[in-house]
Amino acid sequence: MPFLSVTMASLFHRTDASRPTAGPDGSSLNQHSTRRAHFSLTATAAISALAIGLSGCAGAPSPTSGPSASTSSAATPTSISLTNCGHKITLAKPVTRAVTLNQGATENVLALGMQKSLVGTAYLDGVMPEKWQSAYKSVKVLSKEYPDKEAFLAARPDFAFASYASAFTDKAVGTREALARQGIGTYISPFGCPDGTKSADATWDNVYSEVTNVAKILGRPEAAKTVISKQKEELNAVQAAQNGKGLTAVWFDSGDKTPFLGGGTGGPQLILSAAGATNVFAHQKSNWFDGSWEKVVAADPDVIVLADASWDTAAKKIKYLETDPVLKNLRAVKNKSFITLPFAATTPGAQLTDGATIVSDGLAKFQR
């Protein structure tokens, strides 16, 4: 297994029993951003040149603080060092037996063409995009949702990638601390850090940074350059077209009585801004938030963008809008001005530029 060093950080614990969990981020159907109760306690671990397992290392330096993963100079040409969600991780060599625990994490690896480095995958939000279907089918699916610890360990992973902190809890595959003691490294998307650790700001540069760090962990930094170049090309096309100019939009993620909506600092805002549309709730200083239908009705947007997830489909949301006695009178509903895109394309990751393209093309159809 690769050399793993995880530096001691603070213990963060949050419980949210007010709503049932549903999505892989631990959200209820109308609360995308609430994560499952989780611990993010890191442990110091080191392995000597002659040792087989990991051993604790007291008094290690504190991890570099900051929202996003950053890469530092390596001691040897093949070693990898980065800070991720408050954890400093050092690998003596690239990971070769990884498990991905969320669709976003899986897509990052497949986008890099590194499916042969995967010994297992889990938890799809929806259908895997056609361009990665073949690669995805070559990887063993460990579980429909998070695998239990036994199934996870049976794959003999040396590393695990996740999009959300809920993957690394006792209720899922185990805490990052416990996995480190077993020689298994962990990485969480910098946009999905546990509560108590600041997540990365949703920017295109940070999206590219995540791809870069995943590629380094897998030993293919050159592959990241190819992926990022393609993503920038797609984004440039969306920005040049400005198909959303003059249109207002509401981003409806999930929920019914209380809609969970896209705010002004997350993936929805990145996409709508790139396409030239105005997010009605851009003033909300959050990625996602619990909104109110009264405010949606008052805004009466030109377009409604809908996330399509396996646990809360776009079709279900459209039916709700079209049958509600008040919401059915919204201009966007009466005109069927809906844009649907996969859930994974609504959050920062390998599909976000795909999401921008889908939204841009959809907006072009609804120009007055």
The percentage of residues in the chain with a pLDDT greater than 90, rounded to a whole number, is 77
| pLDDT tens digits, 281-315 | 999 999 999 999 999 999 999 999 999 999 899 99
What the block records as the tokens of 54 is: 């990991």
Distance (Å, whole) CA 268 – CA 282: 9
Q: Where are the beta strands (DSSP E) in 155-259?
A: 159-162, 185-188, 248-254
Q: Share the mean pLDDT of the chain.
A: 84
| pLDDT tens digits, 1-18 | 444 443 333 322 222 222
Check residue 25 and give its pLDDT.
53
Class of domain 5-200: alpha beta
- CATH fit for domain 239-365, picks 3.40.50.300, 3.40.640.10, 3.40.50.1980, 2.80.10.50: 3.40.50.1980
Q: 322 vs 26, which has greater pLDDT?
A: 322
Q: Could you say which DSSP state residue 56 is in?
A: E
Q: Could you say which DSSP state residue 116 is in?
A: G
Domain layout of the chain by residue ranges: 5-200, 239-365
The contacts of residue 324 (CB under 8 Å, 6+ apart) are 293
Confidence of residue 85 (pLDDT cuts 50, 70, 90): very high
Confidence of residue 55 (pLDDT cuts 50, 70, 90): very low
Instruction: Reduce the secondary structure of 148-177 to three states and give it as a string.
Output: CHHHHHHCCCCEEEECCHHHCCCCCCCCHH
Check residue 24 and give its pLDDT.
56
Check residue 23 and give its pLDDT.
58
The percentage of residues in the chain with a pLDDT greater than 70, rounded to a whole number, is 79
Instruction: Indicate if the pLDDT at residue 137 is higher than 80.
Output: yes
- Cα torsion through 325, 326, 332, 337, rounded to 10: -30
Tell which residue, 198, 197, 109, 190, has the closest CA to residue 157.
109
Does residue 95 sit in helix, strand or coil?
Answer: coil
| pLDDT tens digits, 41-52 | 333 333 333 233
| pLDDT tens digits, 227-265 | 999 999 999 999 999 999 999 999 999 999 999 999 999
Check residue 154 and give its pLDDT.
98
Q: 41 vs 206, which has greater pLDDT?
A: 206
Which residues partner with 121 through β-bridges?
100, 141
Same fold? 5-200, 239-365: yes
What the block records as the tokens of 255 is: 């929920």
Rounded to an integer, the average pLDDT of 24-49 is 36
The contacts of residue 47 (CB under 8 Å, 6+ apart) are 3, 4, 53, 54, 55, 183
Rounded to an integer, the average pLDDT of 98-108 is 98
- CB-count burial class (<10 Å; 0-12, 13-18, 19+) for 255: buried
Confidence of residue 322 (pLDDT cuts 50, 70, 90): very high
Check residue 39 and give its pLDDT.
28
